[in-house]
Structure 1
Amino acid sequence: MAGLFPDASGECRLLDAGAGIGSLSSAFLERCLKGNLTFASIRLKSFEIDSVIHEELRHALSQYNDLPRFSFEIIESDFIESAVNAIQFREYDFTHAILNPPYKKIGSHSRERLLLREVTIETVNLYSAFVALALALTAPGGQIVAIIPRSFCNGPYYRPFREFMLENAAIRHIHLFDSRNKAFRDDAVLQENIIIRLERDGITGPVTVSTSTDDTFSDLATNEYPFERIVFPDDREQFIHVPTSREKDSVRLSPSICHNLNDLGIQVSTGPVVDFRMKAHLRTMPEPGTVPLLYPGHFSGIKSTWPIEGMKKPNAILRNYDTEKWLYQNSFYCVVRRFSSKEEKRRIVASVVEPDAFGDASMLGFENHLNIFHENKNGLPEALALGLAIYLNTSAVDEHFRRFNGHTQVNATDLRQLRYPSRDILTALGNWALQQVELTESAIEAMLKTMTE
């Protein structure tokens, strides 16, 4: 992280928010000590709310008192409150910031959210709040390096933060760890973390993207990409894509894969049955008065199996006044699991709901861990549902999806952002699949390529 800062002269005014025991500040100061960063003076402000570790933090920073004109201040107060006050009174003007901020969701009516709104920052997590505040406190041309979860790169909740960041800074460098388990093995990390360097008020330009398997950086690989490959010009959501190879994005670049779900006349929704809220209506196995309730566990590959005896989740839900509005007509649908990890072979796992699998059931329940493709809450034609599932399971879609999704969720918003072949092509792909005795990955890839060229 310290090595990402470009050399600069003059005065360095350094911010370390959430400083802990001073590891990041020490790394930065070590570069200064070795002459890799040459400043006439360095003034450091370390925010650390936990007074228990202040002595250790002070000891770490004191090791650099031999640096010319170096001074530091340890501030125990809440960084969000202090930063908001400083922004309002224009007290700070940092040239550099190095951050490993805390990760914690902040509620829409929490004290933190109310404080952030006073300086027109809207975000849902402490880590993005810290980065946004650091940006607001940094002088034009200032450099910010932070290690943060990749979850801000996509999804509707982080859109205001993305807009704030891209409006106030240029992305200069992104480092991606290929393995969550190795780089963050002590932290039980559930999503990818990245290191990002931002330049306050910088002119948008090429972005350096580096990757390594883990924190040893022994296999570091670096490429440079035009900004248009990081944030697509026509993307209103401003998703941030992180390419990991020089290879072109075949989904993005195919002229035939250019449709959104509105073009196809299809919607995608999150399964409406939240089981812990509807416990009284759930049944372990089907019985009179119930309809099938489908979980991700009912799907293996492209097919479904229902009911499953001994399954930890219920197989059925009562159909009554309280549940009726959450149910779908029994028909063909394409469903996608909402949770997957980057270590899985495919991030998007799509299956087909076949109405014959549920006997004479007229309605179906879909649990909240599934996304459902439908037409105004009605089913899809069989060939379209199958073609859609096959397309979503391709390696091309998987590669495209991994460029902007770095957490464990596959949300409906993400699926709306994807590009699709036309409805006719998807239907033709499904009809072709129905005629095959066996569907192999190579045959599917070849047929899709033929249909979309």
Structure 2
Amino acid sequence: MASYKRHSWESLPSRFADRLGAGIVARKTPAERKAGGLYLTPVEVADFIAGQANTSASEIRILDPAAGSGTLLCAIVEGLAIAEPRVRKVELTAYETDPDLQEALASVLDRLKRWAEEHQVEVSVRIEKQDFVLAHAGSFRSNGHLFDTQSRECFDLVIANPPYFKISKDDPRAQAAMVVVHGQPNIYALFMAATAALLRKGGEFLFITPRSFASGPYFRLFREKFFANIRPVGVHVFGSRREAFGRDEVLQESIILRGVRDDGWQHSREGFELEITGSAGIADLAHLNRRSLPLRDALDMASSSKIFRLPILPGEDAALRLVDSWTGSLHQYEMNISTGPVVPFRATEYIDKIGVPSNDYAPLIWMNHVLAMQVTFPIETRKPQYISTVATEKSLLLPNRNYVLIRRFSAKEEARRLVAAPWLKGSVPGSLLGIENHLNYIYSMRDEMNENEALGLAALLNSELLDTYFRVSSGNTQVSATELRAMPLPPRDMIVFIGQRVRKQSGGESLDDIVKEAIGTAR
């Protein structure tokens, strides 16, 4: 392995790029950073990504479609110069639309060229000052095939930390990508698709992105098209939302996806493996949790949902297998799940801080009323907790019946992602109930869910078993009704049994103990 010549670590081009980029971003307002999805790659993460590259040709073409100040490109070239002595020529193509970053990028890559020359590596640079997705809109084929094998550009390695923000369905970029995404897509998925389309067969794909593309209905079509040609080889999961991009306060759960272009790989009889690593954030990247598993166990391309599951710990596999073995569902049990209909800023004329549940007012349940297995109403809060029964005219109120309430949002660092509680109609007097939009609620499509069903479902959702299943299957910060609707459930008798046991719960018995007992009895 080659070694660096004697010089200060801080003089490396990647460190210069990191300092320059951080200074530019610091001068922008939070609104400007958010609008541009501007979260530059920390240099430690760039080094880690660079270490994943597995190319050793003497000449390499590299594309970064969202180059920023060039930290990631520099880290890649530095890594190749050290670890791959056969590399002698590197062609870099970098796209950047921010004028401030364009100037910095040119300066950084000039410095990189001089540094590489000292290490006997010739670097050529092309900077494109245009929108990458629009420039390559032709990559999204109207016939439904994502990849244009006749592309005039063909790269050996594509790397990126793309911007993260939603675009409207009328945005020209969303219109161009309708064969891959629908609705209001997040821009990063369009970068993934268009960039991968420019990758040669056998070429490498290295992206750091939110994990949200791995599950959920909005990305199902994207997963179908993208994974038809990109075979995942490895994934790194950051356990903390904040620690991967600490200085920019990113709350998205981030992953690094490593793949190769392997058209039609899912039809191969070969047994492909997937390496999954994990760290809390940047500080412990040198001490990873690491495991390998059959790729088919993480990504079943024959399934309708094509969810990309990422079990980091071996014990999580058992939870997946058990829950997947269940054949029940909300629909099968004549139940459904919806999102609370009360959007407070649209219902200001109906909601009030003062009221008594009666014919005139109904309780308005917010997310902070709901804890695991417990709804407390009223509570000390500045939020209005009552809603006029006149709101029935706008279909904002529900009959005061038995429900299961589930928080739609939770911090990943919390002990459990799923937080659910039974709402029993006798909890508060009155015939009507308001449920705020940050809650989902499960209800019976029959006359009414019985209390044991409500208690049993809530206990299941709060259990370690289903929480593990959800965490492994979903990286979304939002607990969506669609994902819960699709979640397998055990036999109805088991749900009722759990509800009955919750009623008799002793002080030293946990919900997990009750769920384990019910599962053990069923076996």
TM range (shorter): over 0.9
Structure 1 residues 246, 86: closer, same or farther in 2, change over 3 A?
Answer: closer
1:129-181 deviation per Cα after TM superposition (whole angstroms, max 9, x unaligned) = 11111011112112110010111112222222212211121111100112223
Q: Secondary structure of the equivalent of 1:91?
A: coil
Q: Distance in 1 between matches of 2:522 and 2:338?
A: 27
Inter-CA distance 293–94: structure 2 relative to 1 (3 Å threshold): same
Correspondence for 2:481 among 412, 418, 421: 412
User: How has the CA–CA distance of structure 1 residues 200 and 37 changed in structure 2, closer, same or farther, with 3 Å as cutoff?
Assistant: farther
Corresponding residue number in structure 1 for 2:241: 180
2:106 is equivalent to residue 26 of structure 1: no
3-state SS, counterpart of residue 243 of structure 2: helix
Gap runs ≥5 in structure 2 = 1-48, 141-147, 267-271
CA distance in 2, matches of 1:393, 1:234: 30
Q: Is the 8 A contact 2:370 2:405 kept in 1?
A: no
Partner-residue secondary structure (3-state), 1:280: coil
> Which has the larger displacement, 441-450 or 224-233?
441-450
**Are the counterparts in 2 of residues 174 and 196 from structure 1 also a CA contact under 8 Å?**
yes
C-alpha change, 1:233 and 1:400, in structure 2 (3 Å) is same
**What SS does the aligned partner of 2:473 have?**
coil
Q: Which whole-Å deviations, capped at 9, do the CAs of 1:326-375 have from their partners, x for residues lacking one?
A: 3222111111100102111110011010111111x112121111111111
Distance 1:283 1:147, change over 3 A: same
Q: Which amino acid aligns with 1:444?
A: I
Counterpart of 2:287 in structure 1: which amino acid? D
**Alpha-carbon distance change, 379 to 311 in structure 1, aligned in 2, over 3 angstroms:** farther
| Partner of residue 113 from structure 2, selected from 56, 60, 64 | 64
* Aligned partner of 1:443 among 513, 517, 520: 513
User: Residues 449, 85 of structure 1: CA spacing in aligned structure 2 closer, same or farther, 3 A cutoff?
Assistant: closer
Q: Is the 8 A contact 1:251 1:419 kept in 2?
A: no
Does the 8 Å contact 1:293/1:317 carry over to 2? yes
Match of 2:471 in 1: 402
Instruction: Verify: 1:225 aligned to 2:293, yes or no.
Output: yes
1:82, 1:446 → 2: CA distance? Answer: 55
Deviations 1:49-95 (A, max 9, x none): 12323343223223235154431111111111112257788331112
1:368 corresponds in structure 2 to 437
Give the equivalent residue in structure 2 for 1:247.
315
Q: Give the deviation of 1:377 after TM superposition.
A: 7.8
Bigger shift: residues 257-266 or 162-171: 257-266
Match of 1:2 in 2: 50
What amino acid does structure 1 have at the position aligned with 2:207?
Answer: A
Q: 2:275 aligns with which of 193, 200, 208?
A: 208
- What are the equivalent positions in structure 2 for 1:325-344 lying under 5 Å apart? 325-344=395-414
Alignment pair present for 1:320 and 2:390: yes
How high is the TM-score relative to the length of structure 1?
0.92
Residue identity matched to 2:293:
Y
Q: Does 1:121 align with 2:180?
A: yes
Q: Mind listing any 5+ residue stretches in structure 1 that lack a counterpart?
A: none
Is 1:54 matched with 2:102? yes
CA deviations on 1:304-346 (whole Å, 9 max, x unpaired) are 22233x4222222222365452322211111110010211111
Which of 135, 139, 164 is equivalent to 1:82? 135
164-173 or 438-447: bigger deviation: 438-447
- Please tell me whether the aligned partners of residues 384 and 426 of structure 1 are also in contact (alpha carbons under 8 angstroms): yes
Q: State the AA in 2 paired with 1:70.
A: V
Inter-partner Cα distance in structure 1 for 2:297 and 2:196: 23
Residues of 1 paired with 2:458 and 2:500: CA distance? 12
Counterpart in the other structure of 2:366: 295
Once residues 421 and 262 of structure 2 are traced to their aligned partners in structure 1, the CA distance between those partners, rounded to angstroms, is 45
Q: Please say if 1:271 is aligned against 2:315.
A: no
Matches for 1:184-203 after TM superposition, within 5 Å? 184-201=245-262, 203=265
Deviation at 1:378, TM superposition (A): 5.2
Return the alpha-carbon distance in structure 2 between the equivalents of residues 295 and 260 of structure 1: 26
Does structure 2 retain, via aligned residues, the 8 Å contact 1:342–1:406? no
Identity of aligned residues (%): 31
Of residues 86-95 and 154-163 in structure 1, the stretch that sits farther from structure 2 once superposed is 86-95
1:306 equivalenced with 2:377 (yes/no): yes
Structure-2 change in CA distance of 1:37 and 1:22 (3 Å): farther
Query: For residue 59 of structure 2, what is the aligned residue in structure 1?
Result: 11
Q: 1:217-256 CA distances to partner (integer Å, 9 max, x unpaired)?
A: 1321221111222124664221211111122433432276
SS in 1 for 2:332: helix
Q: Report what 1:349 is aligned to.
A: 419
Q: CA RMSD in A?
A: 2.2
Instruction: Provide TM-score, normalisation by structure 2.
Output: 0.81
Q: Deviation per CA, 1:93-122, whole angstroms, max 9, x where unpaired?
A: 1121110111110111112212334xx332
Q: How many matched pairs? A: 449
**1:222–1:230 Cα change, 3 Å:** same
Match of 1:258?
327
